[in-house]
Amino acid sequence: MQLTFEAELTKTQLEVQEQTMQTIGADLHDNIGQLLSLTSLTLNSIELDNETKARQKINDSIGLTLRSIKEMRLLGHLLQGDQLVALGLPEAIRQEVSWMERSGRYEIVYIPGEELPAAGNPDKDLIIFRIVQEIFNNIIKHAAATQISIALDHFDGHLKLTMTDNGVGFNADSLPGGKAGMGLQNIRKRAAIIGGEAAIISSPGEGSRVTISIPYP
């Protein structure tokens, strides 16, 4: 059991790093790349014989450059990868929520656990964090959702994570095949490895709810 847990932990660390790099790549292309391209276009369109318009475009370019610097700093924090979990599970999830919200596609309500122990459990936290990423991935790829709610509760030595979306849903009694089904199976498997269980409730047209309950003394 210990060897199985250690193998799963290593796999999870690699997956978190891979997810981080995919996020960084997408953001460099879709966000920072566009900001820098717009900065270049603005600078190239400056007409030096019109001082007023030239000054405005220079100011616009400075603003775009400052936004690019801010975005790069955010990416620098993300490059810490699984070090995010060292800040505590609630904060790691908050960072992931922030990246989801930046797409403009989702309204997300996040209620972190106020009673969560400050020290946490780094190994369990990493696997829980990866479960959160897995659920987000399923929502992005398959749910067509617009609203997501996340609640993290700690009581009686147990951690409860609940994630709900208003997407298209599916028949929970028969897991979908392919990668979607594998993702849901991975969620259950990982919850079991750290002594917990996952309950997945969904119906076509009625969204989905995933509840993870884990011993967390």
Band the pLDDT of 202: cuts 50, 70, 90. very high
Helices (runs of H) and strands (runs of E) counted in the chain: 6, 5
Contacts (Cβ under 8 Å, ≥6 apart) of 142: 167, 168, 170, 176, 180
> According to the model, what pLDDT value does residue 149 have?
97
Band the pLDDT of 147: cuts 50, 70, 90. very high
Q: How far apart are CA 85 and CA 118, in angstroms?
A: 12
Residue showing tokens 């609640």: 151
Q: What is the pLDDT of residues 29-87, one digit of tens each?
A: 667 887 888 888 888 888 888 889 899 989 999 988 988 887 777 666 665 545 566 77
Instruction: For residue 122, give the nearest of 92, 89, 96 by alpha carbon.
Output: 89
- Return the amino acid letter for 67: R
Phi-psi region of 156 (alpha: psi -120 to 50; beta: other; left: phi over 0): left
Give 37's DSSP letter. H
Q: How far apart are CA 124 and CA 130, in angstroms?
A: 10
> According to the model, what pLDDT value does residue 213 have?
95
Residue scoring higher pLDDT (163 or 38):
163
Contacts (Cβ under 8 Å, ≥6 apart) of 167: 139, 142, 143, 144, 145, 207, 208
- Rg of the chain over CA atoms, in angstroms? 21
pTM of the model: 0.70
Q: How far apart are CA 162 and CA 152, in angstroms?
A: 7
Whats the size of the chain, residue-wise? Answer: 217
Beta bridge partners of 37: none
Give 45's DSSP letter. T
- Return the amino acid letter for 160: K
Band the pLDDT of 119: cuts 50, 70, 90. low
- Return the amino acid letter for 126: L
User: Is the confidence at residue 16, as pLDDT, over 60?
Assistant: yes
